[in-house]
Amino acid sequence: MEIFSISGAGFGQEGGCPPGWVTTPQGNCGSGAAKFRHPQAVKLQKALTRAGFPVSVDGIIGPQTAEAVNSALGTTLSPYQVAEQAASLTAQMGTAPPVPTPPGVQPGPPPVPATPPITRPRSPTAGLVALLSVNVIAATLGAWFASVIRR
């Protein structure tokens, strides 16, 4: 999903998108419809995901989709070129062999989300105790200095 940006053209793009596409606020290529979802980009992204190159199916051609196309087909296309050739690339993805799973390797479980660090709850009086300790030390030092000056 595109988020408003003033960053200009996206990675690998000089001068926007090919005819039939619009430049999104982040400089990627999409459609003029809501959320910039281009139907040809959706087809390509679904084909990439089916072939074992998962990408966000957001209908926008940007660096992530271009990188997946390049990995899948062994090309070095920019996002502009991927948008320009989206229909033919989708057809090629339909004939591209799926990524083979090495022998003896079973798909693993989904990744476990990171757990937040365990922290001790702070006592509501901890800050008050520290403040009182500082005040006692300051008062003691103040009394000592006052006694030294009076001598």
pLDDT-derived band of residue 75, with 50, 70 and 90 as boundaries? Answer: confident
- In this structure, is residue 28 part of a structural domain? yes
- In this structure, is residue 89 part of a structural domain? yes
Could you read off the pLDDT of 101-125 as tens digits, one per residue? Answer: 567 666 666 666 777 776 766 666 7
Instruction: Average the pLDDT over 3-31 and give the result.
Output: 68
- In this structure, is residue 1 part of a structural domain? no
Pick from 59, 63, 19: nearest CA to 39: 59
Q: Which domain holds residue 50?
A: 22-95
- In this structure, is residue 86 part of a structural domain? yes
> From CA 82, how far away is CA 28, in angstroms rounded?
11
pTM: 0.54
**Residue 41 phi, psi (nearest 5):** -65, -40
- Considering its fold, how many domains does the chain have in total? 1
- In this structure, is residue 69 part of a structural domain? yes
**What pLDDT is stored for residue 9 in this prediction?**
44
Eight-class DSSP state of 34 = G
- In this structure, is residue 80 part of a structural domain? yes
- In this structure, is residue 48 part of a structural domain? yes
- In this structure, is residue 27 part of a structural domain? yes
**What pLDDT is stored for residue 11 in this prediction?**
46
